[in-house]
Chain A
Amino acid sequence: MTTKQDTQADVLPYEEPSGIEQFQETLREYGVTRAVTYGLLGVFLVWTLFPVYWLVTATLKTRQTLLSFPPQWIPLDAQFGNFAQLFAQRPDFVQFIINSTVVTITTTILATTIGAMAAYAFVTFDYPYNLDFHLPFYILSTRFMPPIVTIIPLFVIFRGVGLVNSLQGLILVYTMFNIPFAVWMMKGFFEEVPDSLIESAMIDGHTHLGAFFKIVLPLVKPGLIASAIFTTIITWNELLFAVILALNANAMTVPVGLASFVTKFSVQWINMSVGATIALVPVLLFAFIARQQLVRGFSMGAVGK
């Protein structure tokens, strides 16, 4: 940066790049920077996706080939029979899937509706005693609480009212778990809806509630869908609550079932892989459908929220 010291104006109209900058420029010209960037990103991608690939291909191997040394990178002699084998050896797995499905769907509907209503109310109405702030804050702060803290007393409470090992109990707990999330997601969407739209609907003949269902909700559909998908994924995947509250086969969900494949003494490798793959397919499907929402949701609306 020698020219900076020059008191005479503009001996050189520009500065000579430093040695480092010249080196970087050379690298760029030779495409080295590009190569390295793509290379590193590629490595990260492979590192991220390979374990899933490994699991899915495991469903097509035999127990021997699965743990062969050296490992079989691409499954030869695919064993499609493994799927049938799982259901033959563990017929209760079907029940797990049914339980998970029922719980997930019900929870999603409940949490999204209740959460959306609450979010709308906070956005639209004035509450006394500064509840406007306190209630949403209280609701959102429950996210900070480690679930293990509430699960212990919940278990005792549920045991008292006979809700242990029941789908209803699970649904209740999962709904509670997901409401704060739904509220957080929907709040922003509701804030975008202009008051005059709702007023117009009331003048056109709706009650406020009617306007909410007929006019507002359709407008925030993307938010509802995103909220529903997140709830679905979270609920379907959940283990801690399920393993404590629902150890009975009537109410056992898929994650708990999968956990049972892995005991202190042995691991049923093939069954476990098949089961895990079955468990992840619906989630991957939903995620694919909602990939834009998910990326946006996970990025937490970093831009302009």
Chain B
Amino acid sequence: MAGARDTVRGWGFVAPALLWTLAFFVVPFVVMAAMSLATLEGRELIWGVSLENYRRLFGQAYLFRAILVSVEITLTVTVVSVVLAYPLAWIIAFRVPERWQRLALLLAILPFWTSYVVRSYAWLLVLAREGIINKALIGLGLISEPLTLASTRFATVTGFVHFFVMLLTLTIYANLVQLSPNYRRAAIDLGANGWQAFRHVILPLTLPGIVTGAFLTFVLCIGDYITPQILGGNNELTGPQIIMVQLGRGANFPLAAAMSIVLMALVTLAYLAAARWLRLDRI
């Protein structure tokens, strides 16, 4: 009797989360998957089971290229962000005096307080032909003609990295400060030098923080269309940009849904690759 009551109570506790997931993930996902199998005839939506949208995505060069561009940019951003964020998190965790660490973290995440769109346009001004970087380089006599920085993939990656370094710094820092200094001391006592202690002890122990941050970076980056739109100058299209064009211009919901499913599949692959180290309890 008590067991049955516990079961009912257990379901009662779980039900809100289940209903939430059902309403805001499962149902939308099923609708989106069904939509990706529908087709457009003229402007009329025809429900059915057709792989036409997927055939177009992988068969039409400009659509397939959008998927490749998304993956290339996302991987570049993730790797560069990790490489920059790790030393920053390390410095904040181990080199900045404890009483200043909060302030240092605050400064590190300060750009989060600015609107995403405003930040992208700010970068556009910084990277412009007559922006501060080109003016400084010309002023220093390092170049005679302005460099093409804005409206390039470099600009897109820069805008993304600026944002995601902050995110990764937080996750890596949270992981680093949990590590007992005894791990490093023990490694040194056993004859490891500084690099070996880092490579074989500290780095593996901080992988959960790195991978969690990297996974979040991957998810957020591959789904973003604003930064490539503003900073990339539309010189190459990413998957989310294709989705926006299909929704906004052609009301082609089936093709947009198919591209969304492909992007979700890529995120799932990233999750599977990272699952071994994804330990949220460690950050």
Bound pair: A and B?
A: no
Residues in B lying within 8 Å of A, measured CB to CB? none
